[in-house]
Amino acid sequence: MRRQPADPHADPLALDGETAERLLTGRLSPAQAPPGYAEVAALLAAAAAPPAPEELTGEAAARAALRAVTRARAAGSRRAARPARRRRVGLVAVVAAGALATGGVAAAATGHLPGPVQGAARSILVTVGSDEPAPPANPPRASTPGSGATGRGPASTGATGRGPGTTGAAAPNLKGLCNAYQAGEGAEQGGKLDATAFQALARAAGGREKIPAYCQHLLPPDKKAKEPRQPAPPTPGQGQGQGGRPPSGGGGDNGQGADRP
């Protein structure tokens, strides 16, 4: 039992950078680890162990989301040929079904809906790739200093912006659809569900009747996420730059972790 180090000035847990790196990349077995680090090596190996079956649930939901996005995107590009204005008004009218009591379609079309409904309408407009301009009230994402390098370039406004890059990028925002669905709850839902966007939601949910349960699962209890949010993908430039890196050797799960200088 190592109680006290012989030399009171020696650090019993001294760790050099090379050893730390081997620990972090799983290249140091507990038997090889320096004094005091065998348990750490075992711990990290357990943390990076092969997946257990219970970690692989949820694939069906993810696939459903992909399906919904793909279909809505296809529908969006088919529709791109039609006049944008008609499309927009129609969609807003659909989304505003739950807001008719407060002024309804006209208010929606002019951007004067009550908060929650406005948010829902915006989600749908984003969903179907409408060219509705981003509302000024859209709060900028809080950003971590220095994180801009990680794929948060100018493209990050793409979701709501009008840039040419967003044309036809009609990803259905399932959470947005759920928000809209729930915002319109109590209204006549049969009409709402005819909208292409809501059909995507119904498909993702596995049927119209399953939408409430699906949305309940999708939206946290506090009904967050009024805004579609996701960091922009890396710019092509960034991707290419990283593509130029030498391929990581080893091939293990942590192989690329070894790409230290």
Partner 1 sequence: MIGPEFPAVLQAASRGDEAAFGRLWHDLQPRVLRYFMVAAPAAAEDLASETWLGVVRGLDRFRGNEPSFRAWVFTIARHEVLDWRRRAARRVTEDLPVNGPPERAAPDDPAAAALDDLSTRAALAMVATLPPDQAEAVVLRVVAGLGVDRVAAIMGKRPGTVRVLTHRGLRRLAERLGADRLRGVV
Q: Report the site for partner 1 in 188-217 (rule: CB under 8 A).
A: none
Rg of the chain (C-alpha set): 25
Q: Which is nearer to partner 1, 187 or 232 (CB)?
A: 232
Distance between CA 187 and CA 173 in Å, rounded?
21
Q: Which of 96, 105, 124, 171 binds partner 1 (CB under 8 A)?
A: 171
Which 98-117 positions form the footprint of partner 1 (CB under 8 A)? none
Q: Which is nearer to partner 1, 38 or 100 (CB)?
A: 38
Applying CB under 8 A, the span of 93-101, 139-147, 187-195, 205-213 interacting with partner 1 comes to: 139-147
Is residue 145 near partner 1 by the rule CB under 8 A?
yes
Q: Which of 114, 133, 220, 249 binds partner 1 (CB under 8 A)?
A: 220
Q: Which is nearer to partner 1, 93 or 174 (CB)?
A: 174
Q: Which of 18, 29, 32, 43 binds partner 1 (CB under 8 A)?
A: 43
Applying CB under 8 A, the span of 56-64, 83-91, 96-104, 195-203 interacting with partner 1 comes to: 56-64
Q: Which is nearer to partner 1, 71 or 111 (CB)?
A: 71
Amino acid at 209: E
Distances (CA, A) of 166 to 122, 222, 235: 15, 30, 14
Is residue 4 near partner 1 by the rule CB under 8 A?
no
Is residue 173 near partner 1 by the rule CB under 8 A?
yes
Amino acid at 48: A
Query: Are 181 and 214 within 8 A, CB to CB?
Result: no
Query: Cα–chain-centroid distance for residue 142?
Result: 16
Q: Which of 58, 190, 207, 246 binds partner 1 (CB under 8 A)?
A: 58
Amino acid at 69: V
φ, ψ (nearest 5 deg) of residue 187 = -80, 175
User: Contacts with partner 1: how many residues (CB under 8 A)?
Assistant: 87
Q: Which of 20, 106, 137, 213 binds partner 1 (CB under 8 A)?
A: 20
Of residues 168, 180, 70, the one with CA closest to residue 123: 180
Distance between CA 153 and CA 237 in Å, rounded?
11
Is residue 238 near partner 1 by the rule CB under 8 A?
yes
φ, ψ (nearest 5 deg) of residue 144 = -80, 130
Which 146-165 positions form the footprint of partner 1 (CB under 8 A)? 146-147, 149-151, 155, 158-159, 165
Distance between CA 258 and CA 22 in Å, rounded?
8
φ, ψ (nearest 5 deg) of residue 31 = -65, -30
Is residue 259 near partner 1 by the rule CB under 8 A?
yes
Query: Are 159 and 222 within 8 A, CB to CB?
Result: no
Q: Which is nearer to partner 1, 155 or 202 (CB)?
A: 155
